[in-house]
Structure 1
Amino acid sequence: MRHPVDKVYVTDTGIVREHNEDDGGIFTNEAGDYLAVVADGMGGHQAGDVASRMTVNLLRSVWEPIHQSFSVEEAEHWLKEQIRDVNRRVYEQAASDQKMAGMGTTVVAAMCMRSFTVIAHVGDSRAYQLSEYELNLITEDHSLVNELKKSGQLTEEEANDHPRKNVLMRAVGTEENVDIETASVQWQAGEGLLLCSDGLTNKLNADNIQEHLQAPGSLHERAVSLIHTAKERGGEDNITLAVILQSSLEKEVE
């Protein structure tokens, strides 16, 4: 049986770019569980939107027919295998068409079951866990700047303004094989997840994001206000976010 959630997916081109190379969505399977995905494409000749769209469509197509639940271990294995398969297909597509050479995409995906979520990611699109009081970053950016920060070569402030901030150490589709990072978190009524592209996190820090998500209004209104604020602060990149919250209504009796 489907567990009650409040969910929203919004994306915006921003105010500088001509095309939106982000993609994503929140999809329900036959078992009533949810898969949230955000992908931030890259590559010339508008190939970035091909890579992100392929990634989202392939994950959606294998998710929606599923009619059984997963354990944490099964979910981590399933999600890694699907992203490996997506990576192979995007890589092969890029190799087969000169116009798509070098295309790739980030991906952050969350399998949202009744009592836990499993997150997998490649690149610098992020997942945060939401509670009534906190917004906690679950993922770690696979970026050059983050590696330099971890090794002590950059401070947080220097990292925020670094000219090579957008250089990724990993992406889907740029190599034949990809290293995928996974995490699992327990969640309960009133808690949730935010997945987003760096078009949001380059403009708002965690405190800013939390303020918007806890503001009055519907979840859709709060998500749109995040997009609006990112655009007010420059909007140089595409901006995408998916939020999924477990209903705070009393849990159904098993």
Structure 2
Amino acid sequence: MDAVFLTDVGLIRPQNEDDGAFLQDKHGQIIAFVADGMGGHRAGDVASRMTKEILLSKWNDRDSSFTAKEAEQWLEDTIYEVNKQLFQHASDNPECEGMGTTVVVAICNDQFVSIAHVGDSRIYLKTPEEMRQLTNDHTLVGELVRSRQITKDEAMFHPRKNVILRALGTEQSIKVDTSTIHWDEGSSLLLCSDGLTDKLNDDEINELLSSKKSIEEIGKQMIELANDRGGEDNVTVVIVCHHEEHKDVTDE
């Protein structure tokens, strides 16, 4: 597996409230995540940075490979802990009142990907045959799409598209969505903030992920396109690629 993390402040906002990372352990497992902080001057960047620090600390504290069930449980428990610490930090620091963050997290190995998410950052799975979104947006507009009151294309331009129904740090308890999918060699995973998906539709993302360019070049092109179309928001992507194994063939 290979991975890349890229983030950009965009063209309008004074600071980057997004964060993210990927990290591979000695068992070959990769954790990858994106957090999109909310709160502006009320420390959205603090919320996303704290989320990164807690996730990486918890990841480094464990010393075993996961089954799919164990991975999902670890994700759920860890995100509960993140929510607890963010909420407490906001309560203890008046300047951080109202801060929060979305999060999408994936644990990847050669056989499966276990994911967890809260908010409207997204995870896509790209296979040689198709691309599909693995997460559901926890937003008002996401609910309208799921109930078929509007289409996904209409959702991109809906006046209330930024109304988020779930976020870390804003309440004492949180509901975390988790799931596991199997993936094969030649597939890739995209984790991204809404700074990307507000500017590129699924067909455009699929086309970029289908290119023969390196995953770093693909990520840079995604961010460049989002900025070319206004760059009003921070943009963050993590791409994890499940490489095909190339075996040498020799004559016997």
Band of TM-score, shorter chain: over 0.9
Distance in 1 of aligned mates of 2:129 and 2:216: 20
- Matched residue type, 1:125: S
Question: 2:218: which partner in 1?
Answer: 222
Distance in 1 of aligned mates of 2:44 and 2:10: 16
Aligned equivalent of 1:82, options 73, 78, 85: 78
1:234 aligns with 2:230: yes
How far is 1:8 from its partner?
0.7
Question: 2:199: which partner in 1?
Answer: 203
Aligned equivalent of 2:177, options 181, 189, 200: 181
Q: For each residue in 1:192-249, what CA deviation from the matched residue of structure 2 results, as whole angstroms up to 9, or x when unmatched?
A: 2100000001111111012112223221111101110111111111000000011111
Give 1:72-151 correspondences, 5 Å limit.
Answer: 72-151=68-147
Distance in 2 of aligned mates of 1:82 and 1:148: 30
How far is 1:57 from its partner?
1.0
Contact 2:12–2:232 (Cα < 8 Å) also in 1: yes
How far is 1:46 from its partner?
5.0
Contact 2:17–2:40 (Cα < 8 Å) also in 1: no
C-alpha RMSD of matched pairs (Å): 1.4
1:166 aligns with 2:134: no
Give 1:47-62 correspondences, 5 Å limit.
Answer: 47-62=43-58
Gapped regions of structure 2 (runs ≥ 5):
248-252
1:9 aligns with 2:15: no
Distance in 1 of aligned mates of 2:229 and 2:41: 27
Contact 1:30–1:65 (Cα < 8 Å) also in 2: no
How far is 1:29 from its partner?
2.2
What is the DSSP-based 3-state SS (H/G/I as helix, E as strand, rest coil) of the residue aligned with 2:241?
strand
How far is 1:156 from its partner?
3.6
Q: For each residue in 1:47-96, what CA deviation from the matched residue of structure 2 results, as whole angstroms up to 9, or x when unmatched?
A: 00000010011001111243211111111111100000000000000111
- Matched residue type, 2:218: R
1:21 aligns with 2:17: yes
Q: TM-score, normalised by structure 2?
A: 0.94
What is the DSSP-based 3-state SS (H/G/I as helix, E as strand, rest coil) of the residue aligned with 1:117?
strand
Gapped regions of structure 1 (runs ≥ 5):
none
Q: TM-score, normalised by structure 1?
A: 0.93
Contact 2:19–2:36 (Cα < 8 Å) also in 1: yes
How far is 1:151 from its partner?
3.0
- Matched residue type, 1:241: V
Aligned equivalent of 2:65, options 66, 69, 72: 69
How far is 1:45 from its partner?
1.6
- Matched residue type, 2:205: I
Identity of aligned residues (%): 48
Aligned length: 247
